[in-house]
Chains A and B, each alone.
Chain A
């Protein structure tokens, strides 16, 4: 079965600074990888996904992530943090048959003014 590990349960950055949220996956078959954002008391919003093709994927709100098979990683980045980026971020993995999706423990991003 596939799994995801998110390094760092809390990340704090200053407004305008680089955001880097780490995600490593484990999968015996080619993975489909996702980043979701969750604002307080709300549902899950898809930021971006990787399935096949280009390994650098761009998502909403200026986020992007790069699939690195050799490192089994799918880290999320944003060049310049905004106050509105403060939220919980979840990395998730599934496979082609997509019978289940496994989530990481989440990273809470705090943005300081």
Chain B
């Protein structure tokens, strides 16, 4: 069964460093998402992406964040200068097509900022 994959599973970085979180959505899916979950808190929407552009973003997704689909398979989230409060689990999701209801989530990348 096709699934969303994410790498790495755990990333440790120093405050102020740039990190790139990688996701491989399900093949042929057209819509892509990033969410984050700070430890012990709820899952929060960050950004949605379709047709090589951002469809919607939350107030969390400020200028420190960017997303990219550099090739036909990867979908990345970049944090330019990490802060301690960026420590969280980051989930990628993909959705097949317009009108499809389900977003399929990856296993997450745990980001720890020291």
Contact = CB atoms under 8 A, between A and B. Distances in A.
Interface stretch (A10-18, A61-69, A72-80, A94-102): A94-102
Interface in A74-113: 90, 92, 94, 96, 98-106
Contact of A90 (B33, B43, B56): B43
A100 B91 contact: no
A102 B105 contact: no
Contacts, number: 50
A51 B103 CA distance: 13
Contact of A44 (B31, B91, B95): B91
In this complex, the member of B44, B93, B100, B103 whose beta carbon has the largest number of chain A beta carbons within 10 angstroms is: B103
B45 A102 contact: yes
B101 interface: yes
Nearest to B95: A98
Interface residues of B, number: 24
Contacts of B103: 94, 98, 101
B102 interface: yes
Contacts of A44: 43, 91, 105
A104 B44 CA distance: 9
Contact of A49 (B41, B42, B44, B102): B102
B13 to A, nearest CB: 20
A101 B45 contact: yes
B60 to A, nearest CB: 11
B106 interface: yes
Contacts of B100: 98
Nearest to B107: A43
A34 B100 CA distance: 13
A46 B102 contact: yes
Interface of A: 32, 34, 36, 42-44, 46, 49, 51, 90, 92, 94, 96, 98-106
